[in-house]
Amino acid sequence: MELQKNFFFVFLFISLTYSTSVVDFCVADLKLPSGPAGYPCRNPADLTVDDFTFSGLATPGNGSNIFKLGISEAFDVTFPAVNGLGISVLRADLGVGGVVPLHSHRVTELIYMVEGSMITGFINTDNKPYFKTLNKGDIMIIPQGSYHFSVNNGTTPAVATATFNSANPGIHIATLSIAANNLPTDLIQKITLLDTNQIHELKKIFGGTN
Ligand SMILES: *[C@@H]1O[C@H](CO)[C@@H](O)[C@H](O)[C@H]1NC(C)=O
Ligand SMILES: *[C@@H]1O[C@H](CO)[C@@H](O)[C@H](O)[C@H]1NC(C)=O
């Protein structure tokens, strides 16, 4: 009993020390602009339990694209309850041969392999790659800011979730950064050393101009 009481006070102390928030939650008001701390809060008096649940991950995202990748997101913009709480999650569906292209986020990611398998890896600032095949039930940490990727090299579709310590982790895809905008081809050639024809090919696929 004494021990339990001590644990309780240690827990209380830690909670008080590390929680700086003055509200329990802040369901996003998407009609107002977001800032560095997220969206302003909706009036708690107007909220119901349905504002804290979301069924959008029950169905795969649209995987009819060059990567055979479908993404369903529960970020602040689709699931306003995560606003201000430093958490969000997505569901990724990779067809056979599907790819999550090289990308990074502002924050750390925790991958959980739900079905099938995928080769997943990250590359840190020393350029050292860490990759392996994740199988059903495996989890993997992708440290904040690192480039990472997945490839479904198996014979069945793969399903995984990715949880982030941000309500909006941002998704910064390397190929799209150079080929889905109007950055001039001669500049891209200089800053990447890619072949000009290759850059034109990528721009054709991702809608880039110039
Ligand atoms: C899936 O995406 C493709 C390519 O953008 C589009 O043509 C198709 O209509 C989308 N399907 C659904 C069900 O939204
Ligand atoms: C992908 O699968 C093939 C066939 O099973 C295998 O030979 C190859 O080594 C795999 N690639 C990687 C990177 O694991």
- How far apart CA 34 and CA 174 sit, in angstroms, is 25
In a domain, 4, yes or no: no
- My answer on whether 159 and 191 are in the same domain is no
Q: Are residues 111 and 158 in the same domain?
A: yes
85 and 148 share a domain? yes
Residue 110 has pLDDT above 50, yes or no: yes
Determine, yes or no, domain membership for 5: no
Q: Quick one: 63 and 165 in the same domain?
A: yes
Q: Are residues 51 and 128 in the same domain?
A: yes
Specify whether the CB–CB gap between 144 and 103 falls below 8 A. Answer: no
Cα(194)–Cα(197) distance, integer angstroms: 8
pLDDT tens for 159-183 read 999 999 999 999 999 999 999 999 9
Residue 194 and residue 139 share a domain: no
Give me 141's structure tokens: 């940490």
For residue 23, what pLDDT band results from cuts at 50, 70 and 90? confident
Residue whose CA lies nearest to ligand 2 atom number 10: 153
| Residue 153 alpha carbon, nearest atom of ligand 2 | 1
Atom 8 in ligand 2: which residue has the minimum CA distance? 153
* 69 domain residue, yes or no: yes
Ligand 2 environment, Cβ below 6 A? 119, 153
- Statement to judge: residues 127 and 147 lie in one domain: yes
Is residue 11 situated within a structural domain?
no
pLDDT at position 21: 73
What confidence category does residue 16 fall into, taking pLDDT thresholds of 50, 70 and 90?
very low
Whole-model pTM? 0.85
Q: Write out residues with Cβ below 6 Å of ligand 1.
A: 62, 64
Residue 100 burial (C-beta neighbours within 10 Å; 0-12, 13-18, 19+): buried
Q: Are residues 106 and 201 in the same domain?
A: no
The verdict on 120 and 164 lying in the same domain is: yes
Residue 195 belongs to domain spanning = 177-206
Q: Would you give the DSSP letter of residue 41?
A: B
pLDDT band at residue 89 using 50, 70 and 90 as cut-offs: very high
**163 with 101, same domain?**
yes
Structural domains in the chain (count): 2
Locate the ligand 2 atom nearest the alpha carbon of residue 151 and give its number: 13
Q: 164 and 188: one domain?
A: no
Alpha helix stretches (DSSP H) within 19-52: none
